[in-house]
Amino acid sequence: MTTETLTMGKALNLGLRRAMDDDPKVVLMGEDIGRLGGVFRVTDGLQKDFGEARVVDTPLAEAGIVGTAVGLALRGYRPVCEIQFDGFVFPAVNQIVTQVAKISARSQGRMRMPVVIRIPFGGGIGAVEHHSESPEAYFAHTPGLKVVSVSNPVDAYWGIQQAIAAPDPVVFLEPKRRYWEKAEVDLDAIPEPLFRSRVVRRGDDVTVLAYGPMVATALQAAAAAAEEGRSLEVVDLRTLSPLDLDPVVDSVRRTGRCVVVHEAQVSHGLGAEIAARLTEQCFHSLEAPVLRAGGYDVPYPPARNEEEYLPDLDRVLDAVDRAMGF
Amino acid sequence: MTTETLTMGKALNLGLRRAMDDDPKVVLMGEDIGRLGGVFRVTDGLQKDFGEARVVDTPLAEAGIVGTAVGLALRGYRPVCEIQFDGFVFPAVNQIVTQVAKISARSQGRMRMPVVIRIPFGGGIGAVEHHSESPEAYFAHTPGLKVVSVSNPVDAYWGIQQAIAAPDPVVFLEPKRRYWEKAEVDLDAIPEPLFRSRVVRRGDDVTVLAYGPMVATALQAAAAAAEEGRSLEVVDLRTLSPLDLDPVVDSVRRTGRCVVVHEAQVSHGLGAEIAARLTEQCFHSLEAPVLRAGGYDVPYPPARNEEEYLPDLDRVLDAVDRAMGF
Amino acid sequence: MSTVPELVQLLTPEGQRVEDPTHAIDLSADELRGLYRDLVLVRRWDVEATALQRQGELGLWPPLLGQEAAQVGAGHALQPGDMAFPTYREHGVAWVRGVDPLHVMSLYRGVDNGGWDPAETGLNLYTIVIPAQTLHATGYAMGVQRDGAETAVLAFLGDGATSQGELSEAMIWAASFSAPVVFFCQNNQYAISAPIERQSRVPLAHRAAGFGFPGVRVDGNDVLAVLAVTRAALTAAREGQGPTFIEAFTYRMGAHTTSDDPTRYRLAHEVEEWRRRDPIARLRTHLEQEGIADADFLAAVEAEGEELAARIRRGTIAMQPRPAVTMFDAVYAEQPPPLAAQRDEFLAYQASFEEAGR
Amino acid sequence: MSTVPELVQLLTPEGQRVEDPTHAIDLSADELRGLYRDLVLVRRWDVEATALQRQGELGLWPPLLGQEAAQVGAGHALQPGDMAFPTYREHGVAWVRGVDPLHVMSLYRGVDNGGWDPAETGLNLYTIVIPAQTLHATGYAMGVQRDGAETAVLAFLGDGATSQGELSEAMIWAASFSAPVVFFCQNNQYAISAPIERQSRVPLAHRAAGFGFPGVRVDGNDVLAVLAVTRAALTAAREGQGPTFIEAFTYRMGAHTTSDDPTRYRLAHEVEEWRRRDPIARLRTHLEQEGIADADFLAAVEAEGEELAARIRRGTIAMQPRPAVTMFDAVYAEQPPPLAAQRDEFLAYQASFEEAGR
Ligand SMILES: Cc1ncc(C[n+]2csc(CCOP(=O)(O)OP(=O)(O)O)c2C)c(N)n1
Ligand SMILES: Cc1ncc(C[n+]2csc(CCOP(=O)(O)OP(=O)(O)O)c2C)c(N)n1
Ligand SMILES: [Mg+2]
Ligand SMILES: [Mg+2]
């Protein structure tokens, strides 16, 4: 067993390195990912070791990055695109939605799209406009894509490798404000499967679902609730499309109450689908409607207001209170 | 009272004409909308009467259409963009999501975006790939946009005028397979407000929500159900963002059961948000979970399979049965 | 800065051979007859497809009428290992690449979205979103570079497509990475109703110089010139000289698609003028004048066309929809459990009708 | 096809005036001193802002260091009724347009996304998504045409921005409609870490010819040349001659933003080389040599810079966040009931903390 204490950023870096070692067809593409090592340094040192043909500093255009990645995939490569910030994925949406997502179905499976689109996402770092978006619902609503988010260095290390190895396109969401958080990573472990959710804290009163940056927040809320004698079960969703709700259904059947937490604006966000499905599957067990704690239905506010926009420990506990009050 | 029997296409045409007569700042922009009158002839004759400066045949690029519309709006114009088909809106998504939707908030309301984006949407016409999409959820999830869909010539005639007169950006979804359906339109009536839903058939057993192309389907289902002694209340949602659920809540509190119908893939579609909200607001009245009849979570299939993909009368009744069986 | 040459032409509309030392081409009589045959057959297919659409057997058909030389010429410039990325109108290229016309018919019948295998035929599936395929072609060419292969890539696009930002991005990528890709633009003068002047006030071939690579303008109704120019560009790409942009100057003689009514936006006399530059007639005249084609040969080609048309008609009419459940099957390589469940529900739902005997 | 001129220069790095009959400019001593003053003041502001960011008073700062002449020159070419569309770095243009620097500071402090009024200042809000504003500028110019106004529009962009498809679309629209818009590209040699060679292997000014309008290349560190070239282009636009693309050849002397570490991707000696072409030093030399500026004047400008810096510092530090509830207020002109309800819930939620005395 080789364990290392890694930040999430470094875990991703090592995961990418290992994926590139394992498969010569893996090619990284993006703005500033080579020389500079990416604005978050996630690809630091990789161009130096793997060369410019495998770590490609691209021109500045997201449609170009994803569109040429499609072509590389058609030629047998496994491109890993970095979108520099969440708010800059939109120029690539046409390629993602009309091409990446549809090519397998279009070709009756003759052509596959093993493309990974890495997106540092979410707020909490005091950034300017377009640098704090949570665009996951757009992708989760798009058949043909898979969408995952990681919440900790262990999942980051394994998840990026699993996403690259997957035969389907994966939108890989990295919670940028957690890049610097550390954990022990066992580099030889047998990883958990990528497209599975996981109970990260046991509890009996309310099930709290979260993913990416909000998992830590949910765990903080659970710790605070415990002090007041309330027991929260926390689930890290991990996979946003496909959803893996089986463990959640089990949990909710037991607790009868559920709160979904995400940074994205709440309307038509992930919480909506989860609430709809859980209600269908747990109708007779639910003692309260599935409630949501999310961003408000407004454009992400200026940085100095983001604390009030983002769900935090208190917002989660407030939703938990409301669920208990039903 | 001047009434005319109009197809939905013609009603839109007259509505656009009247909006252009009323306000010289209204400018139409799009591919093939001038000389040709649009591929669905919705703008037929308008360039002839209003000239090339007000009915602009653009180069072939959707980002260009919407991006220059933003500039025209900043100069005081009221641009109405036509996206030729639903599947071709994606190149414009960057301008729509990062600019059109955010400029009012970005400028603290100093700048407004009275832009209308008309999109013929949905399936049922036997078209090739990318011509049968239902992209409404992407826009409904985007704060700053308003999203409406019309289901009949009367709403089409008034709705397009109201959307153009609105001070906010409106994504205006036209159910292309209903373009040829006719109704009497009273050209002097006082129209219903745009951002309101409407009960279009009274009933007691199950509330069925639909919008755009599916309203007719829901009404057919209600007629068929009536023959079997089952009474469906049908609501035409009309406004997808903001949602106007008050009339629906009243209805569901009475019926205790609800089915949402749309063509878009069901996961993370409009039905998810509606189900989540209704469950919150009607929790103690619901006798069954809010169920959804929608497209499957696959890319829109080839035309000769679309009948099986699209919700139809039987699919709606099936969902109604399931709701009753809870 | 490279200058854009005048229109390259090797065969006048009257069928006269023009000598052009920088675009030399030397074809055997067999090769010339082969080109002629392809031109005639793809036109015959196209006419049949238009008729089938009128009869309700196809959902839609985008005719290539008038663009046969551009497509057949470009198709013949490709080598077996090369890869071409078509739009939705490249039936002539599909033909030359050996794609079974019925695979193209099945797409426009609404049976599938492209039934051939790109890996086998060297022709990517048709791409309808304009011009997404130009980026794919460029990325594919970057893969070719990484493989160290002697392969070139040909990206098709229309004149209208030149306005889409994605094409500019493809050109920028191609230049920046010196990728072995050739952009082949059929300027057929219209994007549905929009005349070329709406997209550009200078010849499209000029566009390339601004991105740092050569642009060539060729008479798109001259199969010899198209072949020569495209072959040269593909060879340059294969040899590591990077991209070229080819503007094939041609004309869409028919409607944009069978849903279109071109009388609304263009005048009959313009069409008539272009009819005099017909790509097939000029090659026939040339072959006849040179004694390469005689009446027997011409008749044999006509007869082959009729056979082909009959086969296409039979095959098309016989085509049945695929079972609807297949819509679930190729969405992913690894089908997620929720989708598998949806598929099961779909099957159960369908079965319920059969049980009910409806 | 128009040819691209060599770099237009009216003032050498050594401060010598170059005569160029096609780009004549005749400025009064006052005007020259005014330009100098603006150059110094915007640099002083920029330095102060960088320092404030280091001290935690700003979230981020993108320095204009080295690009003062490009921005001040372009800004002065505008007439009062004209409209400019900046990126996120055009502090020099904002200054010349009379935008209060504190409005720019509030943006980078995270207080708002742009607090000035574009209608009043003739400067659109900063746009961060590259290069969305170039389409806005073009559409605005189409509005100007419809108004029959004598107004020109200036769209700013960087060298990296030239790779985005939206810029190409803006250029195509501008050409197609002959819109009165000038594209002003500050080629500062880098897009964060990407050197200009990644975006283009030919000078960016060449790009325009392929779209059918003139491209000009100007020494971006020469405020006189920038002013002359931009003024001429804006005049042409105003007179109905359509768009121009200007490449201002300059250098980003600082980091991309305060978050960036340029030592990772460029060499110190390159920066040193460009330091010798400093835009302010050369104008000062010229003014001194011509006897237009004396020590008193120079000292006065320095002093004014210190005052400005102090005012900016005080103002920035004093800036408070706006009440969070304002995030609900300007999303729509007509606030929808569900959002109003969300706003009410938000206020109630906030109030619950106050009640609880937390
Ligand atoms: C992104 C996108 N927008 C719009 C369309 C609709 N459309 C189909 S063909 C066409 C015109 C294309 O013109 P051109 O590129 O000249 O090709 P041609 O049809 O003449 O071969 C348009 C606008 C599309 N397919 N894709
Ligand atoms: C669409 C988009 N993608 C990525 C970014 C992130 N980004 C911000 S500045 C920048 C480099 C811009 O370079 P250039 O256009 O040369 O302007 P400069 O910063 O040098 O002034 C990048 C990649 C962005 N703002 N917008
Ligand atoms: Mg064309
Ligand atoms: Mg730059």
- Statement to judge: residues C101 and C146 lie in one domain: yes
Which CATH number do you get for residue C119?
3.40.50.970
Smallest CA-to-CA distance from C132 within B122, B83, B129 is with B129
DSSP D17: B
Q: Is C19 left (phi over 0), alpha (psi -120 to 50) or beta?
A: beta
pLDDT at A305 over 80: yes
Query: Are D224 and D347 contained in the same domain?
Result: no
What pLDDT is stored for residue A284 in this prediction?
96
**Cα–Cα dist A152/A181, whole Å:** 8
Atom of ligand 1 lying closest to residue C188 CA: 20
pLDDT band at A1 (very low <50, low <70, confident <90, very high): confident
Rounded distance between C-alpha atoms, residue B63 and residue B65, angstroms: 5
Are residues C317 and C329 located together in one domain of the fold?
Answer: no
Assess contact for A115 and C155: CB atoms under 8 A.
no
Whether the CB of A146 is below 8 Å from some CB of chain C: the reply is: yes
- C-alpha to C-alpha distance for A197 and A246, rounded to whole angstroms: 9
* pLDDT, tens digit (0-9, with 9 covering 90-100), for B169-214: 999 999 999 999 999 999 999 999 999 999 999 999 999 999 999 9
Among the listed residues C256, C275, C277, the one whose alpha carbon sits nearest the alpha carbon of residue C265: C256
Instruction: Give the residue whose CA is nearest to atom 11 of ligand 1.
Output: C191
CATH of A3-186, one of 3.40.50.970, 3.90.870.10, 3.20.20.110, 3.40.50.300: 3.40.50.970
Q: Are residues C303 and C355 in the same domain?
A: no
d(CA B194, CA B196): 6
D195 ligand 2 Cβ < 6 A: no
Same domain for C230 and C108, yes or no, is: yes
Q: What confidence category does residue C3 fall into, taking pLDDT thresholds of 50, 70 and 90?
A: low
Domain assignment present for D185: yes
Distance separating alpha carbons of residues A45 and A55, to the nearest angstrom: 10
CA-proximal residue: ligand 1, atom 6 (nearest): B84
- pLDDT band at C256; cut points 50, 70, 90: very high
pLDDT digits (tens, 9 = 90+) for A85-144: 999 999 999 999 999 999 999 999 999 999 999 999 999 999 999 999 999 999 999 999
Residue B108 CA to residue D278 CA, distance in Å, equals: 38
How many CB atoms sit inside 10 A of residue D126's CB? 26
C-alpha torsion sign, points B173, B103, C167, C159: positive
Taking each helix axis from N to C end, the angle separating D337-355 and A313-325, rounded to the nearest 10 degrees, works out to 100
Domain with CATH 3.40.50.970 in chain B: 3-186
Residues whose CB falls within 8 Å of the CB of residue D272, separated by 6 or more in sequence, listed in order: none
Pocket test for ligand 1, best of C71, C130, C164, C249 (most atoms within 8 A of CB): C130
- For chain B, residues classed under CATH 3.40.50.920 are 198-324
C306 and C331, same structural domain? Answer: no
Average pLDDT of every residue of chain B: 98
Q: Which ligand is nearest to the CA of C71?
A: 1
Spatial CA neighbour of C39 closest among C310, C236, C293, C215: C293
| Measured distance CA(D346)–CA(D323) in Å, rounded | 12
Do C313 and C356 sit in the same domain of this protein? no
B90 close to ligand 1 (CB < 6 Angstrom): no
Q: Do D164 and A37 touch (CB under 8 A)?
A: no
The reply to whether ligand 1 has any atom less than 6 angstroms from the CB of C188 is yes
Rounded distance between C-alpha atoms, residue D118 and residue C240, angstroms: 49
Spell D77-93 as b/e; 16+ CB within 10 A means b.
Answer: bbeeebbbbbbbbbbbb
Say if B80 is an interface residue toward chain D (CB within 8 Å). no
D192 lines ligand 2 (CB under 6 A): yes
The verdict on residue D6 lying in a domain is no
Best of D192, D199, D259 for a ligand 2 pocket test (most atoms within 8 Å of beta carbon)? D192
Q: Strand, coil or helix: what is B264?
A: strand
Residue C356 pLDDT grade (very low, low, confident, very high; cuts 50, 70, 90): confident
Interface test with D, best of C171, C185, C201 (most D CBs within 10 A): C201
> Pairing between strand B239-241 and B146-149?
antiparallel
Residue of D nearest to C215 (CA): D210
**What DSSP string runs through C148-211?**
T----EEEEEETGGGGSHHHHHHHHHHHHHT-SEEEEEEE-SEETTEEHHHH-SS-GGGHHHHH
C2 pLDDT above the threshold of 50: no
Query: Is C152 in CB contact (< 8 Å) with chain A?
Result: no
Ligand nearest to C-alpha C188: 3
pLDDT of residue D355: 77
**Same structural domain, D339 and D252:** no
pLDDT at A42 over 50: yes
Residue D65 Cβ < 6 Å to ligand 2: no
- One of 3.40.50.300, 1.10.3720.10, 3.40.50.2300, 3.40.50.920 is the CATH number of B198-324, namely 3.40.50.920
Tell me which residue has its CA closest to atom 6 in ligand 2.
A84
Please, are residues B57 and C198 in contact by the beta-carbon 8 Å criterion? Answer: yes
Residue D73 Cβ contacting ligand 2 at under 6 Å: no
C135 touches chain D (CB under 8 A): no
Helices C68-77 and C223-238: angle between axes, nearest 10 degrees:
30
Taking the C-alpha atoms of residue B153 and residue A237, their distance in angstroms, rounded to an integer, is: 44
User: Tens digit of pLDDT per residue, chain D (358 long)?
Assistant: 345 568 999 999 999 999 999 999 999 999 999 999 999 999 999 999 999 999 999 999 999 999 999 999 999 999 999 999 999 999 999 999 999 999 999 999 999 999 999 999 999 999 999 999 999 999 999 999 999 999 999 999 999 999 999 999 999 999 999 999 999 999 999 999 999 999 999 999 999 999 999 999 999 999 999 999 999 999 999 999 999 999 999 999 999 999 999 999 999 999 999 999 999 999 999 999 999 999 999 999 999 999 999 999 999 999 999 999 999 999 999 999 999 999 999 999 999 988 776 5
Q: How far apart are CA C41 and CA D253, in angstroms?
A: 63
Residues D97 and D232 in one domain: yes
The amino acid sitting at C261 is D
Average pLDDT, integer, range A154-170 = 98
Residue C163 contacts A, CB cutoff 8 Å: no
Residues C329, C312 share a domain? no
B322 chain-A contacts, CB cut-off 8 A: none
Q: Which has more pLDDT, B282 or C4?
A: B282
Into how many domains does chain D fold? 2
Other Cβ atoms within 10 Å of D298 Cβ, number: 17
Q: Please tell me the predicted confidence (pLDDT) of residue B72.
A: 98
pLDDT in tens, B223-256: 999 999 999 999 999 999 999 999 999 999 999 9
D16 in any annotated domain: no
Cβ atoms within 10 A of the Cβ of C140, count? 30
For A88, the closest chain D residue by CA position comes to D129
Evaluate whether C171 touches C211 at the Cβ level (below 8 Å).
yes
| C142: pLDDT strictly greater than 90 | yes
Kind of pairing between the strands at B182-186 and B170-175: unpaired
State how far the Cα of B305 lies from the Cα of B63, in Å rounded to an integer: 31
Nearest alpha-carbon partner for C212 in A59, A61, D129:
A59
Do B279 and A289 make contact, defined as CB atoms within 8 angstroms? yes
Residues C222 and C344 in one domain: no
Which chain C residue is nearest to residue B318, measuring alpha carbons? C349
For the stretch C294-314, pLDDT in tens is 999 999 999 999 999 999 999
Instruction: Measure in Å the smallest separation between the Cα of D178 and chain C Cα atoms.
Output: 10
Between positions 53 and 82 of D, the ones with CB within 8 A of B are none
The encoded tokens of residue C75 equal: 């198709």
> Which residue of chain D has the CA closest to C210?
D207
Instruction: Extract the tokens encoding A93.
Output: 């949406």
Q: Quick one: which of B129, B87, B137 has its CA closest to B300? A: B129
Ligand 2 centroid distance, CA of A129 (Å): 13
Retrieve residue C223's tokens.
Answer: 């199969």
Find how far residue A149's CA is from the centre of its chain: 2
In a domain, D137, yes or no: yes
pLDDT value, residue C144 = 98
By residue range, what is the domain housing residue C348?
Answer: 324-358
- Residue A131 falls in the annotated catalytic set: yes
Q: Is A90 in the pocket of ligand 2 (CB under 6 A)?
A: no
D211 shares its domain with D332: no
pLDDT at residue C100, as a whole number: 98
Q: How confident is the model at residue C355 (pLDDT cuts 50, 70, 90)?
A: confident
